[in-house]
Structure 1
Amino acid sequence: MKIVRRIGASPRERGSMSGESCPDIFELSDGNFAVIGTEATAEFDTLLPADASRADYERIVIVSRETLVRAKDDIPDA
């Protein structure tokens, strides 16, 4: 599996010159997406709605609103 492309603006385009705040979204060659975000599993695990669950190998990450909004036009409809 490989990263095919970035979804949305790069961290630099969003104003991160220091490299300290670099949430990012990538489309993978199998059609899935990889996300770089702030790890927040411990904080949000018990707050998930009753119809949501997380496997032991999954983590909850926070992606900034700007990152996701600027990725909107690049996310395929299907």
Structure 2
Amino acid sequence: MCGETCPDVFELSDGRFAVIGAERTAKVQEEHPELRELDAREIIVVVDRWTLIYAKPFIPDH
């Protein structure tokens, strides 16, 4: 929506949520070795705090 590489959170038609953010797997794993091992299909995506706070009212509690 911002015309650049803005992070975003949106609900899919099946009720799951998708997150658009910066791929930072190697950097986060290096900085946080205590994190669990990722599945081969998983990556770590970083989304800024403001994006999640803004999205919170649109995410149902159940």
- Whether TM exceeds 0.5 here: the answer is yes
**Alignment size in residue pairs:** 61
CA shift for structure 1 position 29: 1.5
Structure 1 residue runs of 5 or longer lacking an equivalent are 1-10
CA deviations over 1:17-58 (Å, ceiling 9, x no partner): xx22310111011211111000000111242535x3311111
Question: Hey, what does 1:57 align to over in structure 2?
Answer: 41
> What secondary structure sits across from 1:31 in the alignment?
coil
1:34 aligned counterpart, secondary structure? strand
Q: Report the aligned-residue RMSD.
A: 1.6
- Percent of aligned positions with the same letter in both sequences? 51
Using structure 2 for the length normalisation, give the TM-score. Answer: 0.81
Q: What is residue 37 of structure 1 aligned with on the other side?
A: 21
Q: 1:48 and 1:30, CA in 2 relative to 1: closer, same or farther beyond 3 A? A: farther
CA–CA separation in structure 2 for the residues paired with 1:21 and 1:49 = 29
Is the helix fraction higher in 1 or 2? 2
Task: Specify every segment of 5 or more residues in structure 2 that has no aligned partner in the other structure, as ranges.
Answer: none
Normalising to structure 1: TM-score of the pair? 0.67
- Whether 2:59 is the aligned partner of 1:72: answer no
